[in-house]
Each structure stands twice: as structure tokens, then as C-alpha cells.
Amino acid sequence: QLQESGPGVVKPSETLSLTCTVSGVSLSSSSYYWGWIRQPPGKGLEWIGNVVWSGVTHYNSSLASRVTISVDTSKNQIYLKMRSVTAADTAVYYCARLPPDRDDSWGQGTLVTVSS
């Protein structure tokens, strides 16, 4: 199971920071990638990036300059940091196991609103 956590409101130009806690599987023994996906209100899904247990990351090129994804296998957590946020970054942020495969797993999502 995956559970996202973090502030629900972030001010414009500041950094959005989210944590995804993974339970039921050890990140250090998993060959899956663990990713972040977001969904602005009323809109579609956008892949942000993903990380594997060794720390190797891949990012959506449209967001790569502002995003850092990391992993802490000792805590079984993955992290998202997005810098210089604007109102366009207001969205529900999901963490998920990737690629899609048997017994797929997504978090419930957390709404982050960018507002002063």
C-alpha cells in the first residue's frame, strides 16, 4: 500500500514537498520503479517522474528543471520536491508503483493547492 503525505497548501514560488510511504513491500528488494503522477482539478493524468531503490531517477522533460524525486529505503519512503510552484501546479498528487503490472498499487492521492 502507498500513502501520500505533505502540506495541502503551498505559496507561489515556494517548494512543494511530498512523501509517499510504502508498506507491504521493501523498496530495497523491489525491481519496480515508484513514481509520482498528478492530476489538476477536472483534468487528466500527468506522469512527473519515478525512482528505483538504487536512487536512479527519470523525469518528465516538461518538469525536469523543477523536480527532484528521491528514495530512502531505510524508511521505505519516496519523496517529491517541486520548486518554484505556481497555480498551475495545483493538483492531486499520487504515488504509484510503475510500470503497470499485476496487483497494481496507487496511493489515494493528496490535494496540493498553490495559493498565497
Partner 1 sequence: ETVMTQSPVTLSVSPGETVILSCRASQSISDDLAWYQQKPGQAPRLLIYGASTRDTGIPARFSGSGSGTEFTLTVSSLQSEDSATYYCQEYNNWPAMYTFGQGTKLEIK
Instruction: Write out the residues near partner 1 by the rule CB under 8 A.
Output: 33, 35, 44-47, 50, 52, 58, 60-61, 94, 98-104, 106-109
Closer of 12 and 99 to partner 1 (Cβ): 99
Could you tell me the smallest distance in angstroms from the CB atom of residue 35 to partner 1? Answer: 8
Q: Which of 2, 8, 12 is nearest to 33 (CA)?
A: 2
Closer of 72 and 104 to partner 1 (Cβ): 104
Could you tell me the smallest distance in angstroms from the CB atom of residue 112 to partner 1? Answer: 15
Closer of 38 and 85 to partner 1 (Cβ): 38
Could you tell me the smallest distance in angstroms from the CB atom of residue 76 to partner 1? Answer: 19
Could you tell me the smallest distance in angstroms from the CB atom of residue 58 to partner 1? Answer: 5
Q: Which of 9, 24, 43 is nearest to 34 (CA)?
A: 24
Q: Which of 65, 76, 75 is nearest to 30 (CA)?
A: 76
Q: Which residues contact 68 (CB under 8 A, 6 or more apart)?
A: 57, 79, 80, 81
Closer of 50 and 77 to partner 1 (Cβ): 50
Q: How far is CA 63 from the centre of its chain?
A: 12
Q: Are 78 and 20 in contact (CB under 8 A)?
A: yes
